[in-house]
Amino acid sequence: MNGQILHGGDLISASARYNIPQDQWLDLSTGINPDSYPVGELATEVFQRLPYQQQVFADAVTGYYGTDEWLAVNGSQPVIQALPLCLEKLPVLLPDVGYDEHRHHWAANGNPLAFYPAFDLNAASDQIERRLSKGEPFHLVVINPNNPTGLEFSKVQLCNWAERLAGKGCLIVDEAFIDTQPAISVLNEPLSDKLIVLRSFGKFFGLAGLRLGFVFASDQLRSQLQQRLGIWQVNGVAQGVATNALSDLDWQRGARQDITLNAERTALLLAPLMDALQPDRVAQTPLFSSWQLDADIAAQVQDLLAQQGVLVRLIPLSERKALLRTGIISRYNWDAIDRLDGAVNACIELLNHQGEAHV
C-alpha cells in the first residue's frame, strides 16, 4: 500500500486515496459505539450563551463518575498534551504499544522514556514491579484497557502502584474505553493525589464529534491544567448533550448490552477472514478488536478492504509485524452487514487469487 498510514476515522484521506466518496465508506477504523446516544432537541440557550459550566452539567458528571474531583475538557487529547508540562520532569514508563499521543508528548517534553510490554499481563506487571522496587521517582502511564492490545490491569493493582510511586511520580490511567465495563475503573476507589485518570465521553456514547472528556486529579493539578488550557473548554452544546446522556441510566444499560451483541455480530462477519489469515494474536474488547499479522499481509488486507470501501486501522509494530484494528457495526444496520460480508468475501477471494499467482 502506498502513502502514509491512515489513522482512525480519517475518511477524508481515505476518500482521496481510493476515490470513494466519504458517505460511501463503512468506517471500522475507530472504536466508537455505532449506535450513538440520541441527541434530540436542545434548548436554544446552549447555542446563544457563553459556555460557562452549568450546574446541571456538573451534577450529571459527578453522578455518572461518582466523584466531584474532575475537570471537563475538550476531549482527553489536550490533557495528554499538557500533562508533561504540569508534572515533575521525571522518567516515564509507558506501554510499548498504545495510543501513541502519550509517547509523543512525553518525548517532546524531553522526559526519558522506557517501555513495558503491552501484550502480556504478567510480563508487564513484572517489569512495572521491578521499576517500583528501585525506589526511584518516575511517572507510569497505563491505558486501561489498552488501545489497541486490549491489555487490562485490575483497579486494585493500579491503586497499589499509585501509592508506591516514589517522590513526585504519578500514575496516569487513560480509561478511554472503560465505560462498557465501569466496575473495573479506578474511579471506584478513593482518588490518590498520585493518580490521574482520563475519561472519554465520545466513544461509549458514540458522539466523538462533541470533543468532550474529563480528567480526575488533585485540586492542585486540576488548577494547573485549567490555567494552561484556558476557559470555555467545553461548549454549550456538548454540556447540554452530556447532561442528558450521563443521566440516562436506562440508555446506558441498554447500550452496554447492545455493544456486546454488536461486537459478537461483527466478529462473526469477520471470522472467515480471520480463519484465512490465522493471526499471531487476537485482542477483543467490546468496542474494538486487533489482529497481529505479518506487516506486509496486514497492509495488504487493509488495502484490499479499503478498495471495497471498508476502512480498518493499520498499526505498525515493527518492520515485520503490524496490527489490524477493527471497530464494530450495529447489528441493526443491514446495509453495513451486507457491505462487510461482501468486502470480507472479496478480500478472501483476492488473497487466494494472489496466492495462486505466486505458486
Q: How confident is the model over 136-163, as a mean pLDDT?
A: 97
| Distance of alpha carbon 91 from alpha carbon 113, whole angstroms | 6
Within this chain, do residues 335 and 315 fall inside the same structural domain, yes or no?
yes
Among 206, 221, 247, give the residue marking a domain's end: 247
pLDDT for 357 = 46
CA 168 to chain centre: 27
pLDDT for 329 = 97
Within this chain, do residues 151 and 216 fall inside the same structural domain, yes or no?
yes
Residue type, position 131, single letter: R
Split at pLDDT 50, 70, 90, the class of 2 is very low
Residue that the C-alpha cell 470513494 belongs to = 20
Q: How many residues does the chain have?
A: 359
DSSP codes joined into one string, 204-243: HHT-GGG--EEEE--HHHHHHHHHHH-S--S-HHHHHHHH
Split at pLDDT 50, 70, 90, the class of 7 is low
pLDDT for 356 = 55
| Distance of alpha carbon 147 from alpha carbon 138, whole angstroms | 22
| Distance of alpha carbon 251 from alpha carbon 63, whole angstroms | 15
Q: How confident is the model over 54-63, as a mean pLDDT?
A: 97
Among 220, 247, 274, give the residue marking a domain's end: 247
**347: three-class secondary structure by DSSP:** helix
Q: How confident is the model over 334-354, as a mean pLDDT?
A: 93
In the DSSP assignment, the letter for residue 143 is: E
Average pLDDT, the chain: 94
Do 297 and 320 meet the contact criterion of CB atoms below 8 Å apart? no
Q: Which cell is 54 given?
A: 452549568
Within this chain, do residues 229 and 284 fall inside the same structural domain, yes or no?
no
Q: Left (φ > 0), alpha (ψ -120 to 50) or beta: where does 3 sit?
A: left
Q: Is the pLDDT of residue 359 over 50?
A: no
**Neighbouring residues of 241: CB distance < 8 A, sequence distance ≥ 6:** 37, 39, 42, 207, 210
| Strand 70-73 with 213-216, pairing | antiparallel
Within this chain, do residues 133 and 220 fall inside the same structural domain, yes or no?
yes
Determine, yes or no, domain membership for 6.
Answer: no
Determine, yes or no, domain membership for 217.
Answer: yes
- Number of domains composing the chain: 2
Split at pLDDT 50, 70, 90, the class of 10 is confident
| CATH, residue 348 | 3.90.1150.10
Within this chain, do residues 111 and 226 fall inside the same structural domain, yes or no?
yes
In the DSSP assignment, the letter for residue 46 is: H
How many other C-beta atoms are found inside a 10 Å radius of the C-beta of residue 335? 9
Determine, yes or no, domain membership for 243.
Answer: yes
Within this chain, do residues 114 and 30 fall inside the same structural domain, yes or no?
no
| Distance of alpha carbon 147 from alpha carbon 255, whole angstroms | 20
Q: How confident is the model over 5-25, as a mean pLDDT?
A: 86
Q: Is the pLDDT of residue 96 over 70?
A: yes
Within this chain, do residues 260 and 115 fall inside the same structural domain, yes or no?
no
H/E run at residue 106: helix 100-108
| Distance of alpha carbon 287 from alpha carbon 31, whole angstroms | 5
Among 219, 247, 275, give the residue marking a domain's end: 247
Q: What's the start-to-end Cα distance of the chain, in Å?
A: 22
Nearest residue to 274 (alpha-carbon basis) of 247, 306, 297: 297
Within this chain, do residues 67 and 215 fall inside the same structural domain, yes or no?
yes
Within this chain, do residues 288 and 217 fall inside the same structural domain, yes or no?
no
Determine, yes or no, domain membership for 113.
Answer: yes
| Distance of alpha carbon 123 from alpha carbon 61, whole angstroms | 36
User: Is the pTM value of this prediction over 0.85?
Assistant: yes
Kindly report the three-state secondary structure assignment for every residue of 245-282.
HHHCHHHHHHHHHHHHHHHHHHHHHHHHHHHHHCCCEE
| Distance of alpha carbon 250 from alpha carbon 179, whole angstroms | 14
pLDDT for 3 = 47
In the DSSP assignment, the letter for residue 289 is: E
Split at pLDDT 50, 70, 90, the class of 353 is confident
Domain with 116 in it: 45-247
